[in-house]
């Protein structure tokens, strides 16, 4: 599976993206070519705030490795498994984060000993998650030059020597298909199209993505709805519900509210 040369530019998953970008310096950077089959991108954030701010993200079906520097605490790194709920992070003072977003299915080759579902809903310090392989957080967070931070991330991930894994390749391809093909609305239909049983598809996603294929389908629907709400206040919610495969508007409203915390009409307003 080929990796992309430039990171995507959408804001899917970021709640209140304009407000966040007004307060922090946010960039996405491409990893080394050898890593692109496995990674979405690196994401870098720096801030120096006079007042605290809480950022909110509806997580992607992706594992992240995150190196973090917060005022008053030592630098640290962690493996962040797929978040099942809205993620909130309070930012204050000055700080810095250097993150690695893996493709759905892309983390297993770097940590093949356990299924990716092992990390789901968990945040585990890097020295515990990858004993003997953890990069010193300061090596990633310390350089003032952005290119040097990216080079440090490349060096760390390449040192893990990801093992070729055809099942991970399949999981990445199927997750990518779900992301881009709006016609995929049911797990059974995807399984039939791929010549797999539903149970085999579920096992593949548990081992290599970390969540079920149904969860991935629903999460990408919410990302689409959130981006629509960000871009306009005149969303046709009934029409969008039908477009995303919901049986009615009420089901979309229910899922959106449960994930984001407010109904879509209140968010868009």
Select the more confidently predicted residue: 91 or 133.
91
* Same-domain check for residues 140 and 233: no
Structural domain for 115, as ranges? 14-159
Map residue 211 onto helix, strand or coil.
coil
* Same-domain check for residues 180 and 94: no
pLDDT at 1 over 60: no
Quote the mean pLDDT of the chain: 92
Q: Which of these three, 101, 136, 159, is where a domain ends?
A: 159
The pLDDT value given to residue 4: 61
Q: List CB contacts of 70: < 8 A, sequence separation 6 or more.
A: 93, 95
Over residues 74-93, the mean pLDDT reads 95
pLDDT at 132 over 90: no
pLDDT at 19 over 80: yes
Select the more confidently predicted residue: 269 or 12.
12
Total domains present in the chain: 2
The pLDDT value given to residue 262: 84
Among the ranges 72-76, 95-99, 179-183, 255-259, which has the highest mean pLDDT value?
95-99
The pLDDT value given to residue 91: 96
The pLDDT value given to residue 134: 67
Residue 175 lies in a domain: yes
Over residues 132-152, the mean pLDDT reads 90
**118: DSSP letter:** G
* Same-domain check for residues 64 and 187: no
Task: Give the strand order in the sheet containing 87-91.
Answer: 14-15, 53-57, 87-91
* pLDDT band of 260, cuts 50, 70, 90: confident
* Same-domain check for residues 242 and 194: yes
Residue 1 lies in a domain: no
Task: Tell me how far CA of residue 113 lies from CA of 39, 78, 107, 161, in angstroms.
Answer: 19, 17, 11, 14
Over residues 121-127, the mean pLDDT reads 95
Residue 3 lies in a domain: no
The pLDDT value given to residue 215: 95
**Model pLDDT for residues 184-223, shown as the tens digit of each residue:** 888 999 999 999 999 999 999 999 999 999 999 999 989 9
* Same-domain check for residues 134 and 72: yes
The pLDDT value given to residue 229: 82
Is the distance from CB of 240 to CB of 76 less than 8 angstroms?
no
The pLDDT value given to residue 143: 95
Q: Which of these three, 119, 135, 159, is where a domain ends?
A: 159
| pTM of the complete model | 0.92
* Same-domain check for residues 138 and 242: no
* Same-domain check for residues 107 and 34: yes
Over residues 55-82, the mean pLDDT reads 95
* Same-domain check for residues 119 and 211: no
The pLDDT value given to residue 268: 67
Q: Which of these three, 137, 159, 181, is where a domain ends?
A: 159
Find the CATH number of the domain harbouring 225. 1.10.10.60
Find the CATH number of the domain harbouring 60. 2.60.40
Is the distance from CB of 63 to CB of 110 less than 8 angstroms?
no
pLDDT at 3 over 70: no
Is the distance from CB of 219 to CB of 179 less than 8 angstroms?
no
Over residues 141-165, the mean pLDDT reads 95
The pLDDT value given to residue 167: 97
Residue 184 lies in a domain: yes
Show the DSSP H helices in 76-145 as ranges. 126-129, 137-141
The pLDDT value given to residue 228: 83
């Amino acid at each position: 599976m080929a990796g992309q040369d430039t990171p995507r530019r959408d804001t899917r998953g970021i709640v209140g993206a304009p407000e966040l970008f007004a307060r922090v310096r946010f960039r996405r950077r491409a990893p080394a070519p050898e890593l692109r089959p496995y990674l979405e991108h690196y994401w870098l954030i720096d801030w120096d705030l006079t007042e605290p701010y809480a950022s909110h993200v509806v997580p992607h079906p992706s594992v992240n490795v995150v190196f973090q520097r917060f005022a008053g605490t030592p630098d640290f790194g962690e493996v962040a498994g797929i978040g099942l709920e809205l993620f909130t992070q309070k930012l204050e003072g000055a700080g810095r984060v250097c993150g690695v977003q893996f493709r759905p299915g892309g983390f297993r080759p770097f940590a093949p000993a356990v299924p990716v579902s092992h990390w789901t809903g968990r945040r585990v310090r890097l020295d515990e998650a990858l004993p003997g392989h953890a990069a010193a957080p300061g090596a990633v967070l310390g350089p003032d030059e952005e290119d040097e931070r990216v080079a440090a991330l490349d060096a760390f991930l390449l040192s893990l020597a990801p093992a070729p894994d055809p099942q991970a390749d399949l999981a990445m391809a199927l997750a990518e298909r779900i992301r881009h093909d709006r016609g995929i609305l049911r797990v059974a239909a995807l399984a039939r199209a791929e010549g797999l049983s539903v149970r085999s598809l579920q096992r593949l996603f548990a081992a290599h993505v970390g969540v079920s294929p149904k969860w991935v389908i629903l999460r990408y629907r919410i990302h689409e709805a959130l981006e629509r709400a960000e871009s306009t206040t005149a969303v046709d919610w009934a029409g969008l519900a039908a477009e995303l495969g919901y049986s009615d508007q009420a089901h979309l409203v229910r899922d959106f509210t449960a994930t984001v915390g407010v109904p879509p009409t209140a968010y868009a307003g």
